[in-house]
Amino acid sequence: ETGVTQSPTHLIKTRGQQVTLRCSSQSGHNTVSWYQQALGQGPQFIFQYYREEENGRGNFPPRFSGLQFPNYSSELNVNALELDDSALYLCASSFIQLNNEQFFGPGTRLTVL
């Protein structure tokens, strides 16, 4: 096991609602990255947090936002949910000064109806 945990494991929301997903990183890691994985696709990078600041962002709209806390845990917030937001949301932790090996949590499966 990687030591990265995510909650909740599953979530069902309706269009227009807002959702918050949570991630606790592996002990000793200082960076958290979030990915979205649609069915049949590889994970797509949403953003990364380091020292409580966004440290890179993929091609996702501003309604996807995040936070990193002093203990390196993180939240992903999605506003105004759309049907296409249905996916597995993966959190990955790493130690930024190393070789970029990232370790994934089990993910949160979000269904938007």
Partner 1 sequence: RKEVEQDPGPFNVPEGATVAFNCTYSNSASQSFFWYRQDCRKEPKLLMSVYSSGNEDGRFTAQLNRASQYISLLIRDSKLSDSATYLCVVSWGPGYALNFGKGTSLLVTP
| Footprint of partner 1 (CB under 8 A) | 2, 31, 33, 35, 40-45, 48, 50, 55-56, 58, 88, 90, 92, 96-107, 109
Shortest Å distance, C-beta 45 to partner 1: 4
- The per-residue DSSP string of the chain comes to --S-EEE-SEEEE-TT--EEEEEEPPTT--EEEEEEE-TTS--EEEEEEETTEEEEE-S--TTEEEEE-TTS-EEEEE-S--GGG-EEEEEEEE-TTS----EE---EEEEE-
Shortest Å distance, C-beta 37 to partner 1: 8
Nearer to partner 1, 66 or 107 (CB): 107
